[in-house]
Amino acid sequence: MTDSPSPKPGKVLVPAENLRVFAAALLQKGGLSPDHADTTAEVFVWAAQRGVDSHGIARVPAYLELLAKGIANATPEIRLESSTQAAVVLDADRAPGPVALTAAAEEAVTRARITGIAAVGVRRTVHTGAIGRYVSKIAEQGLVGLAFVAGMPNMGYTGAKGAAVATSPLAIAVPADGRAPLLLDMATATIALGKIRQAKASGTPLPEGAAATEDGTPTTDPERAVMPLPLGGAKGSGMSLAFELLTSVLVGAPIFADFHSGDPKGRKHRQNALLIAVDPAAFGGAEPFAESVEATLATLKTLTPADGAEGVYYPGERSAAVAAERAADGIPVAPKVWKQLTEAADELGVALPALAGERARSTARVVTERPHRYAKQLVSHLGRRAETSWDDERGEGRLLFRDGVGTLTAGDGALLLTVEAEGGSPERLEAVVGRHLVRFGTKDELVVEWLRDGGEPGGTYRAE
């Protein structure tokens, strides 16, 4: 690969799709099925694209460790235990959170379409990931999504010593026609654990009232801080306890009481969740709701910004803007995370993704009895989406796409197609182009054999 761009200092820029394919390949090598690997990778990249790097691609190495240690179940038997049409419990069997909660979100939408409102409780999952993704999936279907999560105690509780409750998050997503959905995604802690680690690494003092020592004493010293304090004191700790009741206790999988019981089994890592989908059509109509949502957000945007403020934003608006920017420029990956990912890729035998601005190159040998005829048909077919040319006498052609180029050479019994694309990867080129070539040429009983730049064999596709 050549033409590598100069990323921001200390960062590696990777196109979102390349990062998703790469993460999925690593997770599949770690034991997940292709579908579960794709789902988990998608949640990570969604978070990374929105700037939530603590729940983004940096989670891949941690998940590989969870899978290797058996903490996360690579082959879970997920089952639904329903008692009513509008409520169901999903037993995750220790599946990774993205797998379990994505399934829960889809189930909530399906049931809410019938009942107007539906709740899906999730028990025995492992690290739920960015829960904003799951309520966003609900909002993408035109419904309102709510989510609550309870996990292992790692945060102080007002009036108690030591870690007592979890930094349990909540998320709410409201669809907004013509705008990014309103997305409130917050924890019950004043500061994330990751922020404490970052402050410790940089030696930066922590904000007052944000963190505490092991015995619960507030501190601004990052060297002494081991846990965050609840947001708003008693308000944050009360919300965390309430979420434990709304999720863990409600689905018959309590965490808090078991954790503090003294039984070592009570400290086995696990999380629970509750996802709710609300169909506006059941509350007076979807169109009036959409109009009122637009009026509300539009009114908010007309408010006068406070001194020093860049503007007035609703929850989720700025992260959506970051997502759009990173979709165009690539997702920045921190050096430490990139090192972990490259080491994992080397160990598991997974090819690194092409970086933003790099050009991936692969050559396909299309085996056919009529290479010239097939080449002309292909050039004609692709003329609707690319600039094409074909010299029948020389048996050569050229394709010019928006972000890539291709060359065709017809010989005896085969056609060679070399494709280069910016920001792509050999695997991506082969998956998209190879399958298309086979579908287009089924009458010729084609076989498409890829040979990657450098001689490495790629995929093989056969017409049915």
Predicted pLDDT at 110: 96
pLDDT of 4:
37
Q: Is the pLDDT of residue 237 over 90?
A: yes
Task: With beta carbons less than 8 A apart as the criterion, state whether 156 and 191 touch.
Answer: no
454 pLDDT exceeds 90?
Answer: no
Share of the chain above pLDDT 70, in %: 86
Q: Quick one: pLDDT at residue 374? A: 78
Residue 353 has pLDDT above 80, yes or no: yes
Number of DSSP helices (H) and strands (E) in the chain, helices first:
14, 19
User: What pLDDT shows up at residue 7?
Assistant: 45
Q: What does the pLDDT average to over 375-388?
A: 74
The pLDDT of residue 1? 32
Pairing of strands 144-150, 169-174: antiparallel
| Cβ partners under 8 Å of residue 300, min gap 6 | 312, 314
pLDDT bracket for residue 463 (50, 70, 90): low
Residue 227, pLDDT score: 93
Confidence of residue 425 (pLDDT cuts 50, 70, 90): low
pLDDT of residue 254 exceeding 90, the answer is yes
Question: Cα-flanking dihedrals φ and ψ of residue 166, to 5°?
Answer: -95, 160
The predicted structure's pLDDT at residue 440: 55
Distance CA 108, CA 62 (A): 28
In this predicted structure, which of 143-157, 215-229, 237-251, 422-436 has the lowest mean pLDDT? 422-436
Helix residue ranges, H only, 349-411:
371-382
DSSP three-state, residue 33 = coil
Whole-angstrom Cα distance, residue 175 to residue 297?
11
pLDDT > 70? residue 429: no
- Spatial distance between the Cα atoms of 418 and 93, rounded to a whole number of angstroms: 46
The pLDDT, as a whole number, for residue 287 is 94
* Amino acid, res. 99: V
Structural tokens at position 448: 């498409």
Per-residue pLDDT band at 424 (split at 50, 70, 90): low
Which of 56-65, 301-310, 383-392 is predicted least confidently?
383-392
- Looking at 68-77, 109-118, 172-181, 192-201, which range is the least confident one? 192-201
What is the pLDDT, as a whole number, of residue 458?
A: 58
For the ranges 174-183, 393-402, 407-416, 454-463, which has the lowest average pLDDT? 454-463
Q: What is the pTM of this model?
A: 0.78
- Position 410 scores a pLDDT of 85
Largest CA distance in the chain: 86
338 and 23 in contact (C-beta within 8 Å)?
A: no
**For residue 2, what pLDDT band results from cuts at 50, 70 and 90?**
very low
Q: Check residue 430 and give its pLDDT.
A: 62
Average pLDDT over residues 395-410: 77
Task: Decide if pLDDT at 5 tops 50.
Answer: no
Distance CA 42, CA 453 (A): 28
Q: Return the percentage of the chain with pLDDT > 90, whole number.
A: 61
- pLDDT value at position 428? 59
* Beta carbons of 175 and 293 less than 8 angstroms apart: yes
CB 153 within 8 A of CB 164: yes
What does the pLDDT look like over 362-374, one tens digit per residue?
Answer: 777 777 777 887 7
User: Mean pLDDT, the chain, as a whole number?
Assistant: 87
β 87-91/117-125 pair status: parallel
Task: Please report, for residues 21, 131, 142, 383, 397, the alpha-carbon distance to residue 183 in angstroms, rounded to integers and kept in the order given.
Answer: 26, 10, 13, 42, 49
DSSP 96-108: BHHHHHHHHHHHH
- What would the mean pLDDT of 139-160 be, rounded to a whole number? 95
